[in-house]
Amino acid sequence: MTGKVWFVGAGPGDPDLITVKGRDLIARAGAILYAGSLVSEAALRWAPPACEPADSKGMTLEEIADWLIDQARRHETVVRLQTGDPTLYGALIEMARPLDAAGVPWAVVPGVSSALAAAAAAGESLTLPELTQTVILTRVAGRTPMPEGESLEALARHGCTLCIFLSITLLHRVQAELRAAGWPEDAPILVVQKASWPGEERIVRGTLADIKARCQAERIGSQAMIIASPALGARQREAVARSKLYDPAFGHRFRRATLLEEQS
Q: Are residues 87 and 129 in the same domain?
A: no
| Same domain assignment for residues 156 and 61 | no
92 with 131, same domain: the answer is no
- Whether residue 257 is contained in a domain is answered as no
Specify whether 124 is located in the same domain as 77: no
Provide φ and ψ at 18, rounded to 5°.
Answer: -70, 150
Q: What is the pLDDT of residue 144?
A: 86
Q: Residue 241: what pLDDT?
A: 73
Whether 99 and 123 share a structural domain = no
On whether residue 103 sits in a domain, the answer given is: yes
pLDDT at 264: 47
Low-confidence ranges of the chain (pLDDT < 50): 264
Q: Tell me, what DSSP letter sits at residue 132?
A: B
Q: Can you give the residue range of the structural domain that contains 44? A: 4-109
pLDDT for residue 260: 55
DSSP E strands in the chain: the ranges are 4-9, 31-34, 52-55, 77-82, 106-109, 135-139, 161-165, 188-193, 202-207, 224-228
pLDDT of residue 259: 64
Task: Please give the pLDDT value at position 1.
Answer: 64
Per the CB < 8 A criterion, the answer to whether 215 and 190 are in contact is no
Within 8 A by CB and 6+ apart from 41, the residues are 34
